[in-house]
Structure 1
């Protein structure tokens, strides 16, 4: 037992150090953080430039003429905004065309049935919107003046605020604040699989392609070797996740205002024990299933090129449930959603989604978790078996049935 633990530690340390020392690993791991830093720097510079150019424009005004057939526009307000009334629309439009006037607004007799015509001198895509904005603001301000009631004005303009509460089982429902925490397990699942899946596949193929597995298996049990590889891959994944998150965390802590990042308030999040425990178990179980499957593929295929033909469709299984996202949320009892919930390769994503949005019942959660752990452990045991007999199949795909026959003969 002590020897097995020693060998396991040796495998974990060797695989971890070997992986992080590779030049490709350093390039792949640092590429995204460096790219994020460059993007943040460009955003910071752009925001500073925009702020510098926006400051002198805050108080900038433009002159315009207007014609009002509706009688809604108030002359004093229009004058303060820089407007001048005209009863000759054709001449006003011509003045805008030849550049002698900045803009002309033509208010129809009934703005509820006819559009307000806005004519302006071209100042560029981002500045041209100011003409319509001023025309709209002037119309709304004049209409509010006619209404004369702050209450009615607020109701008509949509500035009334609403404070809603929903209840579940006699208690105030968590709402979006209760969805985000368990949904993070789905994010971690995707990140871990995207970062580690290719390394999981190559973890058994590398020794096979280098023709060294026979030598390794003379001193190591296949179970110890596979277990050590999986643990080392998990550690490598943690390193990559921390490296990727570092620039994001630093940018948020020190440059949030400059980069215009949204403010996050943890007080609005609700960490309900049930969904969080279920989410953690689904994450671990789903990771076990996909890890075992990828290691088994690596044990069967002779080269990484041939393994890639199965790798692509397998990874696609993680994204298929999103094609039925609306049904997963609104109609969890639908047949397709039930199939995705219990099929091992789509169950992790589907169940994590349903768990976050509260449509996964405790009974369903228990069934899916047990199923995924049983299937995952079975696949891992199969992967160890296949690796034992497939490690010397250098030129062809491993015959799975043949490995069991050889195992029976060896047992006799």
Structure 2
């Protein structure tokens, strides 16, 4: 059968899926929910900032006694404090409601705690008492140290510029790790979101009893490959839709949403790790797609296929149980097994590739392994689809399928 029908299959499968209302409901559900969450965070941060500004305008009235002689009277006065004339009765007066707050600074701040007494203003506002007492101690100590440089050194308020080198060249640290990890994120997004679609795409014609008519005009290989390509395109559409709220939120509302201030321009897209990540992603996609299509070809209904589908998906998450070893000890036996076992290889190898522990030989072996097993899985799926597509009421017998000639 002519292969020019491949474009027709891809176009039909893609348009058939994107025209379904439930596809867009499922696709847009996550961005809508993210938008609602972002709106709530924005409103909450605005309200919190308004309360913080209001609290800044209010002075906290308190009295204090200082056995440590550390507290600076001028600073205490500026913060709303006055020296207590009768420390023995101060706590009782706070309890009686005639005194707003009282701080008792001990002779040794290391050996004894600062006693803070205040009238109850609610669980959130009560924290202002402790905050003011701590701030008064810190500012007084800084003033006694003498210079801002010594105060910063004592508190550890200084920055460092770390530079590391690998193979005679400066390594980029996190800036080189993040870009290759994007392939791992994309792999999970595509496989998880499209796994059910992969099964449904194979089982839909079988359950509708139209497979015989389709196979009279199309080669099974053309049909299966066309379905795989269309699923990849659908995954690309969903990935763009899902990423849009995060990108818009980071670009326009990063401060309001408390997103980390990460300079995207510092990311280093190194050619070799990005190439290896892309090949691992494509190979893993082909392998898992071929297996899922094969499951759909063998099973008569989606319900029957789900029993086999679950263990296949679980194998994608197994490497995360040893992620600490993948990062810290990539040479361990369990990491090596997960690196070269086909169903755990994509995730493990992409992690190691991002963190720089996957050497060239291992990368080549894993990539070749994924493509070889992926192509074999697709060929097996085509063979099973050829004979399993007309098994409407029962599971295809593998012995029967392999005893027949294609």
Mapping for residues 372-391 of structure 1, pairs under 5 Å: 372-391=370-389
The change in CA–CA distance for 1:151 and 1:253 in structure 2 (over 3 A counts) is closer
Name 2:182's counterpart in structure 1: 184
The change in CA–CA distance for 1:51 and 1:71 in structure 2 (over 3 A counts) is closer
Alpha-carbon shift at residue 107 of structure 1 (Å)? 1.9
Name 1:266's counterpart in structure 2: 264
Aligned-partner Cα distance in 1 for 2:38–2:152: 39
Q: Which piece of structure 1 moves more, 142-151 or 211-220?
A: 142-151
1:115-164 deviation per Cα after TM superposition (whole angstroms, max 9, x unaligned): 22222333333322222221111112222233334443222111122222
Mapping for residues 325-364 of structure 1, pairs under 5 Å: 325-364=323-362
Aligned-partner Cα distance in 2 for 1:253–1:331: 37
Name 1:104's counterpart in structure 2: 102
Contact 2:10 2:229 in 1 (8 A): yes
Partner SS for 2:68: coil
Q: Does residue 162 of the first structure (1) align with residue 166 of the second (2)?
A: no
Name 1:394's counterpart in structure 2: 392
Which ranges of structure 2 fall in alignment gaps of 5 or more residues? none
Partner SS for 1:62: coil
Contact 2:183 2:277 in 1 (8 A): yes
Partner SS for 2:316: coil
Which of residues 11, 27, 39 in structure 2 aligns to 1:41? 39
Alpha-carbon shift at residue 89 of structure 1 (Å)? 4.3
Alpha-carbon shift at residue 38 of structure 1 (Å)? 2.1
Aligned-partner Cα distance in 2 for 1:186–1:99: 60
Which of residues 85, 88, 105 in structure 1 aligns to 2:83? 85
Name 2:309's counterpart in structure 1: 311
Aligned-partner Cα distance in 2 for 1:372–1:357: 20
Name 2:298's counterpart in structure 1: 300
Contact 2:186 2:239 in 1 (8 A): no
Which of residues 137, 140, 147 in structure 2 aligns to 1:139? 137
Mapping for residues 61-76 of structure 1, pairs under 5 Å: 61-76=59-74
Which ranges of structure 1 fall in alignment gaps of 5 or more residues? none
Which of residues 146, 149, 173 in structure 2 aligns to 1:148? 146
Aligned-partner Cα distance in 1 for 2:285–2:351: 16
Aligned-partner Cα distance in 2 for 1:92–1:257: 43
The change in CA–CA distance for 1:126 and 1:336 in structure 2 (over 3 A counts) is same
Aligned-partner Cα distance in 1 for 2:338–2:354: 16
The change in CA–CA distance for 1:341 and 1:232 in structure 2 (over 3 A counts) is same
User: How many positions carry a matched residue from both structures?
Assistant: 406
TM-score, normalised to structure 2's length?
Answer: 0.94
